[in-house]
A and B are shown apart, each in its own frame.
Chain A
């Protein structure tokens, strides 16, 4: 089955701890994205990557970090510098960036910082 997987589905962490969210895709897509979703808000872009070893900041990158060592994987680390990390995090991928950019989403990870 082709698709995007995110793990875990629910994550609880204490304030001040870094936490890493996993995102894997087997669609052979070049581009991958991380979004944050808060109630009543649209999706806000955190980071995106157009290819391996490449990534760019999105609208709300502060307090987050990413890596792209493999085409299939784009993990997101929520650092202790992120002031309000409790949110629903969505990973997406597309064949490439640019025109015809149909992004497909994973099931999401809900992070709660206690």
Chain B
């Protein structure tokens, strides 16, 4: 099936640092969604993107729909301890009936 490559797989953050992650594919997408999942809970929708080049913010989070429509980026500024969790990207392929394809997630942990 179609693949979304999400990177990095994991990263450690120190409070106050900025964080970046991305999802890439060889296919073209019409929609990009970013979710956060806390341990043992369901994913929560953070940001939805619908247009190539679109840049959307939600508090300290900013996400971009890549201009080629094959990638998307999520940035977290001035990270805080509650940012810890797993972040997933999800994309809707161009021409698809609506089944999202999910990346494998980026796990954010606090630096020891």
Contact = CB atoms under 8 A, between A and B. Distances in A.
A8 interface: no
Contacts of A4: 42
Contact of B98 (A31, A41, A44, A88): A31
Given A41-B104, A43-B102, A99 B30 contact: yes
A100 B31 CA distance: 7
A44 B99 CA distance: 11
Chain B facing A: main interface SS: loop
Interface of B: 1, 4, 6, 30-31, 33, 35, 40-45, 48, 50, 88, 90, 92, 96-100, 102-105
7 nearest interchain CB pairs?
Answer: A97-B98, A105-B42, A42-B102, A42-B104, A43-B102, A101-B98, A98-B98
22 contacts: A6-B42, A41-B104, A42-B88, A42-B102, A44-B102, A90-B42, A90-B43, A94-B98, A96-B98, A97-B98, A98-B98, A99-B30, A99-B98, A101-B100, A102-B33, A102-B48, A103-B45, A103-B100, A104-B45, A105-B35, A105-B42, A110-B40
Contact of B45 (A88, A102, A110): A102
A59 B1 contact: yes
A110 B92 CA distance: 27
A95 to B, nearest CB: 10
